[in-house]
Amino acid sequence: MTAIVTTSLPVEWPLENGSILVVRPHEHPYIFHFAILIFDEGKWRIMHNNEENNVHLEDLESLLKRADYVTIQKTQLTGKSPSFLLERFKVFQGMQYDVVEYNCETFVNQFTYQKPFSPQAIVYTLLAGLWIFLILYFIWKNKLKSLL
């Protein structure tokens, strides 16, 4: 089902079942949040994973009050029926959120492509590791200087 949704955003866009919605949460503007769109119970909803509620269904309008729209990506599930998507969702509903192991992007990629991965989590984990390495290196270097 395709429809136009008008929100507080300055744009309108076509929404389709099974497409991926990408937003930037207001409280974490340095990351992207991912969700699957579905027209269910007469309104647009999203299937997503977050730290407050784990994998769950939520009204799209609720998410857009706390996040800024970035883009919509079509997938192999775009255009599938709500019943197909909800049946598939039953397997994932309630799965536990983990910022590195099972975040919103991991859920969306597993739901859509059967591949649980999060490039965003990999990048941030590598950056954290690099910062730790640099801090330890400078501590070691300064300690070595003080011994000489």
The mean per-residue pLDDT over the stretch 109-129 comes to: 75
pLDDT tens-place string over residues 43-96: 999 999 999 999 999 999 999 999 999 999 999 999 999 999 999 999 999 899
Are the beta carbons of 96 and 116 closer than 8 angstroms? Answer: no
Sign, CA torsion 127/130/136/140:
negative
How far is it, in rounded angstroms, from Cα 134 to Cα 138?
6
How far is it, in rounded angstroms, from Cα 9 to Cα 91?
33
The SS3 call for residue 107 is: helix
User: Shortest CA distance to 62 belongs to which of 94, 25, 20, 109?
Assistant: 25
Q: What pLDDT is attached to residue 138?
A: 80
Are the beta carbons of 49 and 89 closer than 8 angstroms? Answer: no
Beta carbons within 10 angstroms of residue 106's beta carbon: 23
* pLDDT band for position 32 (cuts 50, 70, 90): very high
In the predicted model, is pLDDT for residue 146 greater than 80? no
How far is C-alpha 82 from the chain's CA centre?
Answer: 20
Count the alpha carbons within 13 Å of 87 in the hemisphere toward its beta carbon.
6
Residue 57 identity: L
Could you give the dihedral angle defined by the CA atoms of residues 101, 105, 110 and 111, in that order, rounded to the nearest 10 degrees?
140
Are the beta carbons of 69 and 56 closer than 8 angstroms? Answer: no
